[in-house]
């Protein structure tokens, strides 16, 4: 953790009235982000107190091992009096809408986000990536591309390490995935290049409606950096700003970073330069081709060499739980897309298939409108196997358009049902369109359960 120069101290004092002598800082939420905030502020000479509603927060043991003198409080956030502190740093997973917090802000308590602290701590160029779907793939892929282009790059944010844990004097480029929860409280972001990959309903239980969610996502474009926009998404096209450089990407239009054909072969194209055949990407699904185009556009926006980026693309193996080919068993392909935690991600996954699939879906829809799945179910789904909290709702939506639905009590059952139905040439896709927390620790746990069930099938097949 670098100890920063006086420029950082001056910036946080000017922007947030934060100084080590008399500021009382409360870090709310002791997850990985909260721990990163405490670690960072302590290294810069600031004193912190930690508050969590849990008596044993996720990172308590880590904090005690690293910083045993930090006071840790446990209390109901809705009832807590925050006014005894001068500054709050609230973890992004926690809402700022508690009446107790709002009263504190009205009384003059200042909120600072972890990303604003990060932006005050570095002058190194930042690429900021958000969107309803694909942001983890684009973030990771761009990191691979930047490394291939010879950059000492750090990748994280909402993906992997928290932004503050990435800080180092040797880094030449930061690539950050940013969630809507992070963006709704950012005031100091000025990325060299930024993108909203797409917009579809997500986290409406937090943001209220799609219009508000869209406005939150648009905060990624604060500052004066290059806008990288999806020409195929009307909501993103509406985000273009005057007097800002724009780079476009598109699957369907010949603009910016797009697709083109040469001798019957589909290519990735940068403006008018043919880069490489799409078939060399090695990623499943048409939506991943859009992700590739977005990553290329972002890299070009920060002057990465196109040929070097293509080398990075060829080396990229994709992300676990994101259109991940688990196995091919007896001519049946099994694909894990557990990271499709919303309707838009499921639609994007299904659109990438030429033939109909057996779909495993369900979980907690978080209030999203599942009806919008009907058109893609008709076009791309042979049969749907549903599980989780909103299984019955999803089943009714499918049956209403004559798509057979089977209810499964567990992932093991879902995989077994799919195997009974599938034949040579079939694809079984786990793409839940829902969050996982109704049945699993997280989407990774859900994906691991799917993989384990599939690999058990593979062993049974091999043992004959």
Catalytic residues: 135, 158, 203
The residue written with tokens 């724009």 in the block is: 246
C-alpha 180/C-alpha 218 separation (Å) is 9
- The set of residues, in sequence order, having a beta carbon less than 8 Å from that of 5 and lying 6+ positions away, is none
Contact 352, 290 (CB under 8 A): no
Q: What are phi and psi of 252, to 5 degrees?
A: -120, -10
Structure tokens given for 142: 């761009």
- The set of residues, in sequence order, having a beta carbon less than 8 Å from that of 197 and lying 6+ positions away, is 129, 130, 131, 132, 133, 134, 135, 138, 230, 236, 290, 291, 294
The residue written with tokens 């502020």 in the block is: 41
Structure tokens given for 184: 């709704």
What SS3 class is residue 251? coil
From the list 368, 324, 326, 321, the residue with the least C-alpha distance to 343 is 368
- The set of residues, in sequence order, having a beta carbon less than 8 Å from that of 400 and lying 6+ positions away, is 374
Structure tokens given for 382: 């042979």
Q: What are phi and psi of 290, to 5 degrees?
A: -60, -40
């Amino acid at each position: 953790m670098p100890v920063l120069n006086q420029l950082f101290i001056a910036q946080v004092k000017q922007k947030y009235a934060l100084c080590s002598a008399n500021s009382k800082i409360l870090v709310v939420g002791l997850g990985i982000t909260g721990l990163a905030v405490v670690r960072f502020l302590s290294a810069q000479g600031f004193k912190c107190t930690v508050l969590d509603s849990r008596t044993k927060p996720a990172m308590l043991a880590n904090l005690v091992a690293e910083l045993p003198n930090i006071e840790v409080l446990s209390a109901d956030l809705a009832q807590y009096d925050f006014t005894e502190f001068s500054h709050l740093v609230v973890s992004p997973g926690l809402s700022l809408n508690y009446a107790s917090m709002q009263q504190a802000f009205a009384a003059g308590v200042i909120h600072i986000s972890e990303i604003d602290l990060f932006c005050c701590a570095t002058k190194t160029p930042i690429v900021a990536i958000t969107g309803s779907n694909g942001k983890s793939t684009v973030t990771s892929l761009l990191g691979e591309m930047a490394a291939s282009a010879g950059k000492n790059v750090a990748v994280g944010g909402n993906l992997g390490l928290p932004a503050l844990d990435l800080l180092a004097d040797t880094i030449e480029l930061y690539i950050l995935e940013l969630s809507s929860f992070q963006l709704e409280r950012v005031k100091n972001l000025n990325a060299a290049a930024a993108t909203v990959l797409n917009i579809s309903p997500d986290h409406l239980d937090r943001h209220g409606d799609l219009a508000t969610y869209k406005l939150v996502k648009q905060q990624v474009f604060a500052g004066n950096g290059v806008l990288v926009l999806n020409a195929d998404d009307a909501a993103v096209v509406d985000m273009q700003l005057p007097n800002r450089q724009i780079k476009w990407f598109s699957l369907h239009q010949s603009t910016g970073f797009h697709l083109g054909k040469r001798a019957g072969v589909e290519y990735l194209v940068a403006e008018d330069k043919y880069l490489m055949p799409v078939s060399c990407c090695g990623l499943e699904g048409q939506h991943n081709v859009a992700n590739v185009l977005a990553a290329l556009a972002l890299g070009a926006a920060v002057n990465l060499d196109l040929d070097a980026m293509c080398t990075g693309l060829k080396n990229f193996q994709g992300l676990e739980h994101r259109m991940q080919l688990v196995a091919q068993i007896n001519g049946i392909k099994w694909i894990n897309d557990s990271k499709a935690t919303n309707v838009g991600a499921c639609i994007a996954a299904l659109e990438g298939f030429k033939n109909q699939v057996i779909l495993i879906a369900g979980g907690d829809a978080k209030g999203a409108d599942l009806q919008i799945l009907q058109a893609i179910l008709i076009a791309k789904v042979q049969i749907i196997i549903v599980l989780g909290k909103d299984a019955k709702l999803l089943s009714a939506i499918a049956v209403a358009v004559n798509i057979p639905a089977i209810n499964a009590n567990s992932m093991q059952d879902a995989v077994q049902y799919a195997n009974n139905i599938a034949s040579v040439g079939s694809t079984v896709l786990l793409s839940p369109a829902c969050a996982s927390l109704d049945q699993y620790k997280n989407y990774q746990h859900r994906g691991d359960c799917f993989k384990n069930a599939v690999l058990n099938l593979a062993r049974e097949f091999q043992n004959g």
